[in-house]
Amino acid sequence: MTTTLPVAALAFAPIAVPALTAAGCAVAGRRTAGAAGVVCALAMLAAAVGLGARVVGSGPVEVAGLRVDALSAFMLVVIGAVATIVAVATPAHVATEVAAGRLAPRTARRQGVLVHAFLAAMTLAVLAADLGVLWVAVEATTIVTAFLVGQGRTRGSVEAAWKYVVICSTGIALALLGLVLLNHAAAHARPGADGPGLDWAALVAAAPALDPGVTRIAVVLLLLGFGAKAGLAPLHAWLPDAHSQAPAPVSALMSGVLLAVSFSAILRVKVIADAALGAGFARALLLGAALASLTVAASLLLAQRDYKRMLAYSSIEHMGLLALGAGIGGVAATAAVLLHLLGHGLVKSAAFLGAGRVAQLTGTSRIDRVRGLVATQPGLAAAFGLAVLALLGLPPFSLFASELAIVRAGLGDAVGWAVVVALVLVVVIGAAMLRHTGRMLLGPAPDGPGAATAPRRLPGGTALALAGGLVVAAALGVTAGPLTDLITQATQTLSGAP
């Protein structure tokens, strides 16, 4: 396969553009940085679309350590789409924070730099051909976001940052041990020949020859490790803290993209595991993680008091659903998992941006302090309410389509019991979220000082981002359009075909 220069440039663009923007943000003013962010995100999205078309048309692209297969291209689309939503909403958020004195201009500038570095790290993670590079990139996201989480410098944010870094780094360290063992197994895969190293495609090809004893340990460690970063139980506990303390745009990116990127790593590991150990091993682990995550989410959502944490636990829930789908496996469930990644990214980022706006307006993140939002902020409340409903899997949003497909695949399988248990938990979660959201949104406008001071209209950027995320998610729920081919190809990639 020969790769022409433009294609190579296209493959590098998703990493280079945010990296350059990060550098630019370090010197640019706030307005310019905001505009640059939007341009950068749009460029990433465009590159993703271009790569997607190229991959669908003529197969994977390989350039200098990068490998763009259908899954990478799809993940790039996820990153690009969510990044665009977040970039559109960021300037208004930052402006309000700066105006309120909660954000120093210097910190705002640093936020711009770090966010784009974060984006670059994530695109590197999905484009890396080598699992080792993937690991390095994922770990880099932790480092970059640590200061974004801890940006507020309050007790809460410092605490959240510490927990975030310690838990994620520990988890990801386990994944490194897993990689080391996988490498060991790969080195002994074909006596005499050069081992496949940690190159994913080569590993998949060599997987049947891997030593099962070592690979089993490696897979356990890898799933546990990347699972930590993907917010799967048992190493999920950093997530609510970090997501509730980070600035809203960062929470949106972390929940919408970072989890998805980490989960795509899990998907890649699963391909190797399935080829080396048969489908049962990874399935058992993933189903266990799925049910544990759902249980955790349900237990903590029932009596939740903080709406940002509510959204965070909802992310854990959705990661659990994704793990369920991945565990079920097969073409239908895998395609559903991919669609779910995208849908969740869009909706959850909109939800976090909405929650951030609510927090800016009310000055609190406690559910019981927010009342009658529909009466005071109709647009914001409608967007937030719709986002929550979308998270519960209601049509026309695409989460409905993906959840339906996952359940359908699962019920036709031997793991029907797990799906039923998961559905019960999902119902409990739905009830809890509806209750909390209803309390915030419905009812008469609260009276009291300062109730009517906030402007009823949303800032244009925020409104555009919220509406955009929800509309795209709804459109995806009606038809996946051109993404269908990409998802189909990515599904093929994940079933072991090159």
Partner 1 sequence: MVAAGLLGAVAGVVAMTGTAWSVALPGLLPLTGLEFDVDPLSGVFLAVGGAVAVAAGIFAVGATRHGLDRPGVQAALPAFIGSLLLVPAAGSIGTLLWCWELMALTSLVLVVAEHRERPAVASAGLWYAVMTHVGFVAIMVGMLVAAGPAEDGSFVAVRAGAADLSPAAASLAFLVCLAGFGSKAGMVPLHPWLPRAHPEAPSHVSALMSAAMVNLGVYGVVRVGIDLLGGGPSWWWVTVLVLGAVSAVYGILQAAVGSDLKRLLGYSTTENMGLVLVAVGACGMFAAGGDRALAGLALTAALLHLMTHAAFKTVLFLSAGSVLHATGSRDLDALGGLRSRMPVTTAAFGVGALSASALPPGAAFVSEWLLLQALIHGLPAPGVVPAVVLPLGVAAIALTAGLAVATFVKAFGIGFLGRPRSGAAAAATESGPAMLAGIGLAALACVALAVGPTVVLPTLADIAGGLVHAAPAVTGTVAIELVGVTGVLSPLLLVAASAVGTASVVGGVRLLARRRDRRRARLWDCGAGPLSARMEYTATSFAEPLQRVFDGVLASEQDVDVSHHRESRYLVAAVSYRRALPDRVERRLYTPLLHAMTTWGRVGRGLATGSVHRYLGYGFVTLCGLLALLVVTR
Partner 2 sequence: MDPAAMSPPAVALLDVAAGALLLTAVLVVWRRDLPTILRIFTAHGIALGALVGVLAWAQRSVELGLVAVGVLAVRGGLLPWLLRRALARVGPARREPRPVVGVAASLLAVAALVMLAFAVAVPVVELGGSAATRAVPVAVAVVLIGLLVLVTRRHTISQLVGFLLVDNGITAAGFLTTAGIGLVVEVGVALDVLLVVLVLQVLAGRIRDTFGEVDLGELRELRDR
Q: Which is nearer to partner 1, 109 or 371 (CB)?
A: 371
| Residue 366 DSSP SS3 | strand
| Residue 232 DSSP SS3 | coil
Residue 143 near which of partner 1, partner 2, none (CB within 5-8 Å, type-dependent): partner 2
Q: Minimum CB separation from partner 2 for residue 280, in Å?
A: 18
Residues within the interface to partner 2 (CB under 8 A): 65, 130, 132-133, 135-136, 139-140, 142-143, 146-147, 150, 153-156, 158-163, 165-166, 169-170, 173, 176-177, 179-181, 183-185, 187-188, 197-198, 211, 213-214, 216-217, 240-241, 244-245, 300, 303-305, 309
Q: Minimum CB separation from partner 2 for residue 169, in Å?
A: 5
Integer Cα distance of 262 and 305 in angstroms: 28
Residue 434 near which of partner 1, partner 2, none (CB within 5-8 Å, type-dependent): partner 1
Q: Minimum CB separation from partner 2 for residue 425, in Å?
A: 17
Integer Cα distance of 333 and 408 in angstroms: 8
Neighbours of 245 (CB within 10 A): 26
Q: In one letter, which amino acid is 301?
A: L
Q: Minimum CB separation from partner 1 for residue 309, in Å?
A: 9
Q: Which is nearer to partner 1, 262 or 360 (CB)?
A: 262
Q: Minimum CB separation from partner 1 for residue 493, in Å?
A: 17
Integer Cα distance of 493 and 498 in angstroms: 6
How many CA atoms lie less than 13 Å away from 66 in the CB half-sphere?
A: 23
DSSP state, 211?
-
Q: Which is nearer to partner 1, 13 or 405 (CB)?
A: 405
CB-based contact 399:390 (threshold 8 Å):
yes
Integer Cα distance of 65 and 60 in angstroms: 13
Q: Which is nearer to partner 1, 12 or 162 (CB)?
A: 162
Residue 155 near which of partner 1, partner 2, none (CB within 5-8 Å, type-dependent): partner 2
CA dist 107 → 95, 103, 152, 248, 333 (Å): 12, 6, 9, 15, 43
Residue 180 near which of partner 1, partner 2, none (CB within 5-8 Å, type-dependent): partner 2
Q: Minimum CB separation from partner 1 for residue 201, in Å?
A: 26
* DSSP-assigned states of every residue in 446-498: PPSTTSS-S-SSPPHHHHHHHHHHHHHHHHHHH--TTHHHHHHHHHHHHTT--
DSSP state, 364?
-
Q: Minimum CB separation from partner 1 for residue 30, in Å?
A: 35
Residue 98 near which of partner 1, partner 2, none (CB within 5-8 Å, type-dependent): none
Nearest to 19 by CA among 153, 119, 165, 152: 119
Residue 133 near which of partner 2, partner 1, none (CB within 5-8 Å, type-dependent): partner 2
Q: Which is nearer to partner 1, 98 or 423 (CB)?
A: 423
Residue 208 near which of partner 1, partner 2, none (CB within 5-8 Å, type-dependent): none
Integer Cα distance of 321 and 327 in angstroms: 10
Q: Minimum CB separation from partner 1 for residue 488, in Å?
A: 10
Residue 156 near which of partner 1, partner 2, none (CB within 5-8 Å, type-dependent): partner 2
